[in-house]
Structure 1
Amino acid sequence: MGLASKLAASQGAPGGPGGYPGGGQQGYPPPPGGQQKPGAYPGQQQYQAYSGGQGQPPPPQGQYPPQGQQQGGYGGPPPQQQGGYGGPPQQGQPAGPGEIAAYKQSLQQTIQEKRLQQFYPPNSQIIDQVANKASFQVDRLCAQWRINKEIANDIVKLALYDIVLFIDDSGSMQFEEKGERIKDLQVILERVAFAATLFDDDGIEIRFMNQDPPANMTSNVKTQEQVNQLMNGHRFSGLTPMGTNLRKKVIDDIFLRNLRSGRMRKPLLVIVITDGQPAGEPQTAVFDTVRDAVNEAGRSPLGTGAIAFQFAQVGNDQTAREFLGKLDADPAVGPMVDCTSNYETESEEMLRANPPVELTPDLWMIKLLLGSIDSSYDSKDEKTGGSGGHGGYGGPPPGQYGGPPPPNYGGGPPQGQYGAPPPQQGYGGPPPPNYGGQQQQQQGGYGRPPQGQPQYGQQPPYPQQGGYGAPPPPRY
């Protein structure tokens, strides 16, 4: 069952609006086999996504889920407490100072990890503006998608980027799997446009691999109606010149044009959606395009953080999966990209975790959106020698999807985490311990700004993302 079919089935299944098939109260999915898996703590057998579908109210504004107070443990059905997550919402409650400060700290951590200081210097008013509106917009996402607020909070990081989708419109998209791949593609386009416009009124840019629709249909895409208009009647034909036309239509026409003219106001997140391996071009074309774009950014005053790449698969083509695996594992290009398998593959891998994890289509979308700009999502599907341990391929990192609770769990958030005031050091200082699940690194290392600013003409090292076959960053 493809992404679109799975999503439609979950939203229209028995068990209440937006519930899972056979799910209990509030649409929570039953645990596999009805028994708790070894290694799970009480009540934790699957990641319990927020059950609010269309027609259901969002969680309360201005509040995060209370930590350490849910009956049945983290991940179990939330208690029906007044104003709490899962309980009756409080309408119109503004975000408190602590919540706004937590969003700012999350944004600042991403700025440091992805080296975006040239776009967002200390005391940037943009960060204040995003943090002030974040709670309301995150609540909108929770109401629209099947995710809880703890995960939805991370979507605020998209506000730091402009987004371009580069779409495979080769003939196989239409003829394979009875058109399911095109349905999946349309779902992805609609959801990326919705998530991006939560914080950016400009919408997203869309480019196709083979065809060139009118510019007024592919620029500033914001709504489902625009996506439908773009997709209706679009001709899917031809081969898959992924690297060649990614360079021509996205890197040259959008990224380098703005980079060299000094018009870049945000870094660029490039999301490539494909159903197959490249065809009709040299085998190294994709690798060369990514490497050249990052190197060009590194030679500019904005640095390598000016561009990020996400590659995602639709459909079940094995050669496409193998190609993305090679791209992610490449010692030179792998650290510059994140690759996400199709929904079915990712879902099966998470179900093999211990304890198993229910990866909903909406959580897969979060991974697609954030994998290349938030290392905690990138590390969720990495291999560690086939160990399957926490943080390994098929095994969730500690404290993440279905993993055991992090230190201090049940005792309130540590300083610098969501729901707690940030530490007193100023912006630009090192991130606090445990914040966002990231381990502190040495000066100039992973997740920290390099020593000094790179000079024009010099290429700073690109921050590692923990590629296929390499252990993810250590996590608390």
Structure 2
Amino acid sequence: MTDSKTYAPPSGPPPSNSSEDYEKLLKYCVGTINRLQAPKVFDEHLRRLGKKRKALFGGNKNAKKLAEVFEKQVINSCLDGLPLYANDQAVINQLAQSKCLTRIKEVAAEFGIPDQEYVFYDLCQLCLFKIIFYIDNSGSMKKGNRLQQLHDFLKLFMKINVSPQPLRLKFMNHNNEIHAFLRQKFNIDCDRIETEEQLNTVMANIAINGATPLATNLYTTILEPEVLNRKLGQPLLVVTFTDGSPNGDKYTLGRVIRMAQKRLSENNLPQKAICYQFAQIGDDREAGEYLDSLDSDATIGDVIDCTSPIEIEMKQIRRKNPELSTEVNYVKKLLLGPIDIAYDSMDEINNRVY
């Protein structure tokens, strides 16, 4: 005889995670925070791993000792300025406030692997950064399927984003005019895009024309308002999508990045508190060579990660990690490459470390 009772889910919202639950995510974050806040210790950590061609003797004795715990706890000495996250508990509090564990469960379920949510744990690092997407809307972006590739990536980011922050878009050309037009006509704030429908409207109505003043407008549109005109409140991740090398630029990219670092230093903040991803769209060879030069630049290369067009990038990821040959993991590589050493060196081509 079967039981006539049927299962009824418990009423009310599911139990929320406590701050203790977020301690398991700490190991994904401490190396990233130490890399930004304690660069001398990071250098010693790389020496220990054999990834720096420098002598193992000399250097800073305190940094050497701290390098032993580089990936285990937030380091609060040998710092470059005041810390943005002072200790382990500050990181845990930020993660708990973001409620990213709930979102991680949702993302795992959405991608059909509810029993493998740990695959997305490393994305919790995004909760520690303010993320801004800087979009090349020059005339050459009309070529081929470049705009569609960009659109597809942004949609995928919204699906995989485990942080509570919205999608923020800044445009290389006519940024203020585009923001004002979309706000007035569609009531859409490009600094707070929260639905795919809003994103679709934005992508259907942005102006695509003009040159590629990559560095100049990075400075005026993002770095000046975020860093030069006020004190940075949390680390900043700037993700740039571009299809070509700069033209029509007043400044060089190295100069504007160093200007931002100088202001951070003046505010007694870590110079590496701003990280940059430059993602190539399309197959323009000159653009690829330009991005290569950024990645290997001795003065700014340590805060920059550059990715090839998605087809090339996926081939490199697949060669080294066959299980990571999915669009989701390309997005993870692109977002975490500038901040997480594990992703920064995931793929190599012609001795180029992304």
**Alignment match, 1:107:** 29
Query: TM-score, normalization: structure 1?
Result: 0.55
> In 2, distance between residues paired with 1:184 and 1:346?
14
1:169-248 matched pairs, under 5 angstroms = 169-174=137-142, 176-177=143-144, 180-196=145-161, 198-201=162-165, 203-212=166-175, 213-215=178-180, 216=183, 217-248=189-220
Match in the other structure for 2:276 = 309
Note if contact 1:166-1:272 (Cα within 8 Å) is conserved in structure 2: yes
Instruction: Quote how far apart the aligned CAs of 1:275 are.
Output: 1.0
Select 1:135's aligned residue among 74, 77, 101.
Answer: 101
Deviation, structure 1 residue 220: 1.8
Which of the residues 243, 249, 256 maps onto 1:275?
Answer: 243
CA distance in 2, matches of 1:236, 1:210: 8
Q: Deviations over 1:57-93 (max 9, x none)?
A: xxxxxxxxxxxxxxxxxxxxxxxxxxxxxxxxxx968
Structure 2 matches for 1:354-433, cutoff 5 A?
A: 356=322, 359-382=325-348
Larger fraction in helix: 2
Equivalent-residue separation in structure 2 for 1:242 and 1:229 (angstroms): 24
Give the match for residue 256 of structure 1.
228
Report whether the alignment pairs 1:320 with 2:320: no
CA contact (8 A) 1:193 1:221 kept: no
Conservation of the 8 A alpha-carbon contact between 1:268 and 1:308 = yes
Matching residue's letter, 2:243: D
Q: Select 1:339's aligned residue among 306, 318, 335.
A: 306
> Structure 2 unaligned runs (5+)?
1-12, 39-81, 184-188
8 Å CA contact retained: 1:104, 1:131: no
Q: Give the direction of change, closer, same or farther, for the CA distance of 1:356–1:105 in structure 2 (3 Å limit).
A: closer
Q: Shift of residue 155 of structure 1?
A: 0.6
CA contact (8 A) 2:32 2:341 kept: no
- The residue number in structure 2 matching 1:290 is 257
Are the structure 2 counterparts of residues 192 and 254 from structure 1 closer, same or farther at C-alpha, using a change threshold of 3 Å? farther
SS in 2 for 1:232: helix
Q: Percent identity?
A: 30
Query: Structure 1 pair 98/253, CA: closer, same or farther in 2 (3 Å)?
Result: closer
Q: Residues 154 and 235 of structure 1: is their aligned pair in 2 closer, same or farther, counting only changes over 3 Å?
A: same
Contact persistence 2:295–2:306 (CA under 8 A)? yes
Q: Are the equivalent residues in 2 in contact too, given 1:297–1:307 (CA < 8 A)?
A: no
Q: Which residue of 2 aligns with 1:62?
A: none
RMSD over aligned Cα atoms: 2.8
Cα distance in 2, alignment partners of residues 105 and 336 from structure 1: 21
* 1:395-439 superposed Cα distances (whole Å, 9 cap, x missing partner): xxxxxxxxxxxxxxxxxxxxxxxxxxxxxxxxxxxxxxxxxxxxx
Report the Cα distance in structure 2 between the residues aligned to 1:306 and 1:96, rounded to whole angstroms: 28
CA distance in 1, matches of 2:323, 2:25: 27
Counterpart in 2 of 1:32?
none
- Give the corresponding residue for 2:83: 118
Q: Distance in 2 between matches of 1:199 and 1:273?
A: 21
Counterparts in 2 of 1:194 and 1:254: CA distance versus 1, 3 Å: farther
Question: What residue identity is the alignment partner of 1:230?
Answer: V
Distance 2:130 2:295 in 1: 23
SS in structure 1 of the partner of residue 264 of structure 2: helix
Specify every segment of 5 or more residues in structure 1 that has no aligned partner in the other structure, as ranges: 1-90, 387-392, 394-467
Q: Is 2:26–2:88's contact at 8 Å kept on the other side of the alignment?
A: no
Quickly say closer, same or farther: Cα 1:382–1:289, change in 2 above 3 A.
Answer: farther
Cα offset for 1:129?
Answer: 5.1
Contact 1:311–1:324, Cα closer than 8 Å, also in 2: yes
Is the 1:103–1:131 contact (alpha carbons within 8 Å) kept by the matching residues of 2?
Answer: no
Secondary structure, counterpart of 1:380 in structure 2: coil
Change (3 A) 1:343 1:145: farther
Larger RCO (alpha carbons 8 Å, 6+ apart): 1
